[in-house]
């Protein structure tokens, strides 16, 4: 396994964030398909600049983060525009030598008869087929549902749809087993976020993500149902988690995500923390 960072969270701009990733000892960066790199407006020159800086710094672009916003792909009437965006994100990822697009799609119902299940499945099947035809995949991020539900959903969607495993989302909201879930997700894991946190008080996962869809990070911070923390200070059992990833044969990136202002020092600390864990 290799260590990556999210370049944008260094707070110094995308290109300089890639350089900071190299300086702190990481080997890859994930970038957001938004803002200055919105795939609907990004130019070939912008993609080339990012690719050239990444190559020059010895950084792999681990994944592009597709920012769907709101309720993800849960609302059928919104999905034409959102799927167009994801197609362009897949294309942009390939320009950056990257074959993984991560995204939050909304809450997958445990009951396959639920109307929202079909909406999500149909949308993911469509974009998954597009990605697979280009040798890429859409990696659905863990969090809103139990891992067993997500794995069954991904299998139902077929080729081109996989899992971006975030252990902190699991311990902060769903209170699922972040270690045991690795064995359930297994070969469907194509990318991971190295993030930590704790649950402060109970809220149903579906209610949390419905409120989060409307209020974003600002709501999550003020509601205080959970707290994101520096790596090693939360509830994620890192040695056992890393061992589980090894057991299922995962050889990809542990991409550090620290969603706070002025998080650069926490990212550098997280790189050192993961280096120690991986050396065990």
Domain ranges of the chain: 2-278
Query: H or E element: which one contains 199?
Result: strand 196-199
Give the separation between CA 108 and CA 237, rounded to whole angstroms.
25
- What pLDDT shows up at residue 87? 98
Domain 2-278 belongs in CATH node 1.10.1660.10: no
* Environment class of 88 (CB within 10 Å of its CB; exposed 0-12, middle 13-18, buried 19+): middle
Q: Mean pLDDT per 10-residue run, the chain (280 residues)?
A: 96 95 98 93 94 97 94 96 98 97 96 97 98 98 95 98 97 94 98 97 92 89 93 97 98 94 92 96
Catalogue the E-assigned strands of 12-75.
Answer: 28-33, 60-66
- What pLDDT shows up at residue 183? 98
Give the separation between CA 251 and CA 224, rounded to whole angstroms.
34
- What pLDDT shows up at residue 36? 83
- What pLDDT shows up at residue 175? 87
- Buried/exposed code over 165-177 (b: 16+ C-beta within 10 A; e: otherwise): bbbbbbbbbbebb
Q: What is the DSSP letter of 195?
A: -
23-to-78, 181, 195 alpha-carbon distances in Å: 41, 33, 20
The alpha carbon of residue 193 and the mean position of all alpha carbons in its chain are separated, in whole angstroms, by 6
Query: H or E element: which one contains 40?
Result: none
- Buried/exposed code over 134-150 (b: 16+ C-beta within 10 A; e: otherwise): eebbbbbbbbbbbbebb
| Phi, psi at 106, each rounded to 5° | 115, -175
- What pLDDT shows up at residue 218? 87
């Amino acid at each position: 396994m290799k260590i990556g960072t999210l370049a944008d969270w260094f707070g110094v701009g995308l290109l300089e964030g890639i350089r900071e990733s190299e300086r702190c000892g990481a080997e890859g960066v994930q970038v957001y398909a938004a803002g200055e790199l919105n795939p609907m407006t990004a130019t070939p020159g912008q993609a080339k600049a990012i690719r050239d800086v990444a190559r020059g710094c010895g950084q792999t672009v681990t994944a592009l983060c597709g920012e769907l916003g709101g309720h993800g792909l849960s609302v059928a009437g919104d999905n034409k525009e959102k799927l167009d965006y994801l197609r362009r994100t897949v294309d942009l990822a390939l320009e950056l030598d990257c074959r993984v697009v991560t995204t939050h799609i909304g809450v997958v119902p445990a009951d396959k008869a639920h109307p929202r299940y079909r909406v999500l499945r149909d949308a993911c099947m469509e974009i998954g087929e597009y990605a697979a035809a280009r040798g890429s995949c859409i990696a659905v991020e863990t969090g809103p549902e139990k891992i067993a539900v997500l794995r069954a959903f991904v299998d139902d969607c077929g080729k081109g749809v996989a899992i971006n495993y975030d252990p902190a989302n699991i311990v902060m909201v769903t209170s699922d087993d972040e270690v045991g879930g690795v064995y359930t997700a297994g070969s469907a894991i194509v990318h991971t976020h190295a993030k930590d946190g704790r649950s402060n008080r109970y809220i149903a996962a579906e209610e949390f993500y419905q409120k989060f869809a409307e209020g974003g990070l600002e709501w999550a911070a003020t509601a205080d149902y959970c707290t994101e923390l520096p790596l090693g200070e939360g509830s994620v059992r890192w040695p056992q988690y890393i061992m589980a990833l090894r057991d299922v044969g995962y050889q990809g990136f542990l991409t550090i995500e620290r969603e706070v202002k002025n998080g650069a020092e926490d990212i550098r600390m997280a790189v050192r923390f993961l280096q120690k864990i991986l050396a065990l």
